Amino acid sequence: MELSLTPDIYTPSVDEKGNYIDKIPNIINGLYCSCGARKDKIYETVSKFSTHTKSKTHQKWITTLNNNKANYYIEFLKSKELVEQQQRLLVELETQLQTKSLTVDYLTNILASKNNTNNQCVDLLEIDDINY
């Protein structure tokens, strides 16, 4: 089995004024830029990525990021709220699943004990000793 290394995803840095700027990191396993200039292009060297950052598409992407900072923050807050809601829902569903699993185990034990004593089929609708 071969170990495959995935390229890092480029994220622009933020300057002291809060604007996005290009600061080229060290490239170890390649670098993928999500600006959309060249889909699925992986940059292997700093010089190739540096050339890419000067392209019109990349520069336009940085400008768009800077122009939409407030919208991205609002979107982040909405996403954070959605994740919290989904986490609460998962906990609730897990609790329901545990309860139903325990009920199935309980009914299976009742069925097995009745089936062992009578050695015949049991009508599940006639089981009276279920306490919810």
Tell whether 26 is covered by a domain: yes
Decide if 19 is inside a domain. yes
- Domain with 50, as residue range(s), is 1-67
Q: What are 48-61's pLDDT values in tens digits?
A: 999 999 999 999 99
Name the token pair of 38. 């060249």
pTM of the model: 0.61
* Burial class of residue 58 (count of CB atoms within 10 Å of its CB; 0-12, 13-18, 19+): buried
Give the count of domains, the chain. Answer: 1
**Domain assignment present for 6:** yes
pLDDT at 111 over 90: no
What mean pLDDT do residues 16-32 have?
92
Query: Taking the CA of residue 73 as centre, how many other CA atoms within 13 Å lie in the half-sphere pointing to its CB?
Result: 6
- Residue 21's SS3 state is strand
Query: Structure tokens of 125?
Result: 């609708």
97 lies in some domain: no
**How many residues are there in the chain?**
132
**Residue 81 pLDDT class (50, 70, 90 cuts):** very high
**Does residue 23 lie within any of the structural domains?**
yes
Structure tokens of 60? 């336009």
pLDDT at 113: 83
Asked if the structure places residue 20 within a domain, the reply is: yes
How far apart, in Å, do the first and last CA atoms of the chain sit? 52
Strand 31-32 versus strand 8-9 pairing type: parallel
